[in-house]
Amino acid sequence: MSDATGRPADDAKGSGTPDGSGPTDVDALKAEIDQTRQQLGRTVDELSARLDVPARTKERAARVKDTAVETYRESPPIVIGGAIALVGLVVGLVVWRKKRATRRRKR
C-alpha cells in the first residue's frame, strides 16, 4: 500500500523514529549511542593530537633523525660527502658576504 506521494505507507510495526531512519529497539539505540560515543572519543583524540604542536615537532624531529641515521648506515660515504659539500657551501657563502661587505665599505 502507498500514500498519496507514492511512497510505501508505514506498516503496523512503525519505523521507530519520526523520520523513519534509525533503530526501534532500546538495545539497538543504546548500541548506537555507544558507537557514536566511541567515534566521538576517537575524533577528540585525533584533534588533540593534531593540535599538540610541541609533540608533533618532537615526533617529526625523531623521524628525521632516524632517517638520517638509517641513510648513514646504508651509505656512509655519500652522507659524509653531502655533509662536506654543505659545510663548503656555508663557508663559501660566509666568505663571499664578507668580501662583498668590505667592497661596499671601500666605496
| pLDDT single digits (tens) 30-64 | 999 999 999 999 999 999 888 888 988 999 999 99
- Same domain membership, residue 70 and residue 42: yes
Q: Rounded to whole angstroms, how far apart are CA atoms 30 and 36?
A: 10
Q: Rounded to whole angstroms, how far apart are CA atoms 37 and 55?
A: 26
Domain count, the chain: 2
Give pLDDT, residue 14.
Answer: 46
The answer as to whether 14 is a domain residue is: no
Check residue 39 and give left, alpha or beta (phi > 0: left; psi -120 to 50: alpha).
Answer: alpha
- Same domain membership, residue 60 and residue 30: yes
- In total, the chain counts a number of residues equal to 107
- Same domain membership, residue 89 and residue 69: no
Q: First vs last Cα of the chain: how many Å apart?
A: 99
Residues 43, 51: contact at Cβ < 8 Å?
A: no
Percent of the chain, pLDDT > 90? 45
The answer as to whether 65 is a domain residue is: yes
- Same domain membership, residue 103 and residue 61: no
Query: Which range marks the domain in which residue 44 is found?
Result: 24-74
Q: Which spans in the chain are helix H?
A: 26-51, 53-74, 76-106
> Which range, 5-9, 24-28, 86-90, is most confident?
86-90
Give pLDDT, residue 68.
Answer: 84
Model pTM score: 0.36
- Same domain membership, residue 96 and residue 70: no
